[in-house]
Amino acid sequence: GLELDWYLTDFGQTTNTIDYSVSSVEGTKVTLERIGLMPMPLDVTVTYDDGSTEAFLIPLRMMYGHKPTSSRVLNDWPWAYPTYTFETGKPIKSVVIDPKDLMADIDKSNNSK
């Protein structure tokens, strides 16, 4: 199974908060930023210039795996790095972190661009 001790520790024994943002979108490249101190795996939806959409999952390295998903699974995000960049291969219109609004992100205003 997945390693989730980090989640129980951060959520139950610290005041760390969850806050992620879409830092930049340039052509086919997306850069995300972890602002809060609590790490989380991310669901991200990209809408392309041609109107199509694609769902991505960015797991955390400390999870040693990822949840079952039909999303495109990207390389894991090492917690020590505050930013994460990935390429899509198609021109991007918009990006949304946590499109189903399931994460306890304290500032959802920066979850899209």
Q: Does residue 78 belong to any structural domain of this protein?
A: yes
Q: Among 99, 96, 100, which Cα is nearest to 110's?
A: 96
5-19, 35-49, 79-93: least confidently modelled range: 5-19
The count of domains in the chain is: 1
Q: Does residue 110 belong to any structural domain of this protein?
A: no
CB 20 within 8 A of CB 35: yes
Q: Does residue 90 belong to any structural domain of this protein?
A: yes
State the pTM of this model.
Answer: 0.90
Backbone phi, psi, residue 108, to 5°: -75, -10
pLDDT of residue 12: 86
* Segments forming the whole domain that contains residue 31: 5-103
Q: Tens digits of per-residue pLDDT, 33-76?
A: 999 999 999 999 999 999 999 999 999 887 878 888 889 999 99
CATH of the domain at 60: 2.60.40
38 CB neighbour count, 10 Å cutoff: 22
Q: Does residue 47 belong to any structural domain of this protein?
A: yes
